[in-house]
Amino acid sequence: MNLARLAAEAEARGRPVRAGLIGAGKFGSMFLSQTPAIRGLEVSAIADLSPDRARAACAAVGWDDARIAATAFLDDGAELARRDDVDVVIEATGSPRAGVAHAETAIAAGKHVVMVNVEADVLVGPLLARKAAAAGVVYSMAYGDQPALVSEMVDWARASGLHVTAAGKGTRYLPAYHAVTPDDVWSHYGLTPEAAKAAGMNPQMFNSFLDGTKSAIEMVAIANACGLDVPDDGLAFPPCGVDDLAHVLRPRELGGQLPRRGVVETVSSLERDGRPVFRDLRWGVYVVFEAPNDYAAACFRQYGLPTDATGRFAAMYKPFHLIGLELSISVLSAALRNEPTGQAREMRGVAASVAKRALKAGEMLDGEGGYTVHGRALPRKAAERALPVGLAHGVRLLRDVAAGEALALDDVELGSDRVADMYRAAVVGA
């Protein structure tokens, strides 16, 4: 609760925190819109495949000409990660392989890393965290994105002596969404392809949110950071509003829908027949916890905390997350406190690739949000064999795969793949 003060003091000393941003997309642009208003934080460099696009993004979010002129614009993220005028590297490309490479370069150069790129984090986050610790720098999740916000809520619950039963987020989900492709994604968002194109919206990226892949990735990231389990059969996406979190997300033997205590789960904002859930959590995050004793349970009631029928389970939630608008919390925390806002600790699961349709040997997989596979969160025991969705882009299939079947690492031609080798090492070291 003192980051703003610490940042102001850093500015007064003439040593503001200097951030370098790799990837000036939506998340990065939201962060850039806030930095002129934050004392003690500067963006010294921005790397993007199109520096001109990055400059345009800065102008679009309100930067004046002087601020743009004072900022270095590059087309090489690795070059940015090595710059002397960068203290914290923000990796926001969304590409798993690029994210891993940029993080390794930054850590080797003695820079803190804020990993917006959850796709990279679920592949090798624990390995990168260990490398950062050995180098004396911080590797952190990105505050404002749901995994970091959930990690904060889990930490709050545990530090308060409460037993975490479940944690996760909300999303818009129906089982049929797993088969949606970029060709028909916009109808589910109430948009025409023309309107989406005019707005610069990427159909594959938006489809990742719809087909369940992003939920799988983010729930595995939360499990890895918080030491929670991924359900054996994957996420169930139970329809659930905020008033029913403690009732629905408790163990089955007590009338809930969880296989056991201590798991991640995503709740749906839609009933299975498509009707909206009352007081849904589509944009938010939650933690469900259990009172450790009768006295604490009585306090839940006395202070108005909504509980389940037993009075022992309760929930806290945030109805929204503001993604890049909150990213400065991670940047300042890493630089001024040497503390991450959530961090991958161990490999607790995998966002596995599952065939959207019957696939033939020789086909090229197109990764997250594409035409061939969607992501399914699976537990640790599946990680050594399953093909992570982050590695399922631009690789050739070696055998026929039935619709709905999970793909294995051995089902594709990975060849000499450094990131795949790192993933295997991270799994073995879990």
**Would the pLDDT of 202 be above 90?**
no
Asked if 28 and 90 touch (Cβ cutoff 8 Å), the reply is: yes
Q: Which of 274, 305, 337 is the last residue of a domain?
A: 337
Q: One-letter amino acid identity for 91?
A: E
Same-domain pairing of 139 and 217: no
Q: One-letter amino acid identity for 334?
A: A
pLDDT value of residue 18: 98
Answer yes or no: is 188 within a domain.
Answer: no
Asked if 75 and 51 touch (Cβ cutoff 8 Å), the reply is: yes
For the chain, the distance separating the N- and C-terminal CA atoms, rounded to the nearest angstrom, is 33
3-state SS record for the chain: CCHHHHHHHHHHCCCCEEEEEECCCHHHHHHHHHHHHCCCEEEEEEECCCHHHHHHHHHHCCCCHHHHHCCEEECCHHHHHCCCCCCEEEECCCCHHHHHHHHHHHHHCCCEEEECCHHHHHHHHHHHHHHHHHHCCCEEECECEHHHHHHHHHHHHHHCCCEEEEEEEEECCCHHHHHCCCCCHHHHCCCCHHHHHHCCCCHHHHHHHHCCHHHHHHHHHHHHHHCCECCCCCCCCCECEHHHHHHHCCEHHHCCCECCCCEEEEEECECCCCCECCCECCCCEEEEEECCCHHHHHHHHHCCCCECCCCCEEEEEECCCCHHHHCHHHHHHHHHHCCCCCCCCCCCEEEEEEECCCECCCCEEECCCCCCEEEEEEEHHHCCCECEHHHCEEEEECCCECCCCECEHHHECCCCCHHHHHHHHHHHCC
Tokens of 138: 């911080």
Q: What CATH number did the domain enclosing 400 receive? A: 3.90.1210.10
Same-domain pairing of 292 and 354: no
Q: In sequence order, which residues have a C-beta less than 8 Å from that of residue 295 and are 6 or more positions away?
A: none
Q: What CATH number did the domain enclosing 127 receive? A: 3.40.50.720
pLDDT value of residue 430: 58
Sign of CA dihedral 98, 101, 104, 106: negative
Same-domain pairing of 373 and 234: no
Same-domain pairing of 243 and 141: no
CA 47 to chain CA centroid, Å, is 21
Answer yes or no: is 201 within a domain.
Answer: no
Q: Is the pTM of this model over 0.85?
A: yes
Give the number of domains in the chain: 3
Q: Can you tell me the distance from the alpha carbon of 380 to that of 230, in angstroms, rounded to the nearest whole number?
A: 8
Same-domain pairing of 377 and 296: no
Same-domain pairing of 270 and 363: no
Same-domain pairing of 67 and 141: yes
Same-domain pairing of 316 and 365: no
Tokens of 29: 């642009």
pLDDT band at residue 273 using 50, 70 and 90 as cut-offs = very high
Nearest to 234 by CA among 70, 114, 361, 354: 354
pLDDT digits (tens, 9 = 90+) for 59-104: 999 999 999 999 999 999 999 999 999 999 999 999 999 999 999 9
pLDDT digits (tens, 9 = 90+) for 152-180: 999 999 999 999 999 999 999 999 999 99
Q: How many CA atoms lie within 13 A of 276 on its CB side?
A: 5
Answer yes or no: is 205 within a domain.
Answer: no
What is the percent of the chain where pLDDT is above 70? Answer: 100
**Would the pLDDT of 30 be above 90?**
yes
Answer yes or no: is 194 within a domain.
Answer: no
Answer yes or no: is 381 within a domain.
Answer: yes
pLDDT band at residue 384 using 50, 70 and 90 as cut-offs = confident
pLDDT digits (tens, 9 = 90+) for 218-249: 999 999 999 999 999 999 999 999 999 999 99
Which strands, in side-by-side order, build the sheet including 139-141?
72-74, 41-47, 17-22, 88-91, 112-115, 139-141
Highest mean pLDDT among 136-150, 191-205, 372-386: 136-150
Q: What is the mean pLDDT of residues 276-298?
A: 98
What is the percent of the chain where pLDDT is above 90? Answer: 92
Same-domain pairing of 365 and 405: yes
Asked if 277 and 270 touch (Cβ cutoff 8 Å), the reply is: yes
- What are residue 20's DSSP bridge partners? 45, 89
pLDDT value of residue 199: 72
- What residue numbers bound the domain in which 218 lies? 147-173+212-320
Q: Give the Cβ contact number of residue 252 at 10 Å.
A: 10
pLDDT band at residue 417 using 50, 70 and 90 as cut-offs = confident
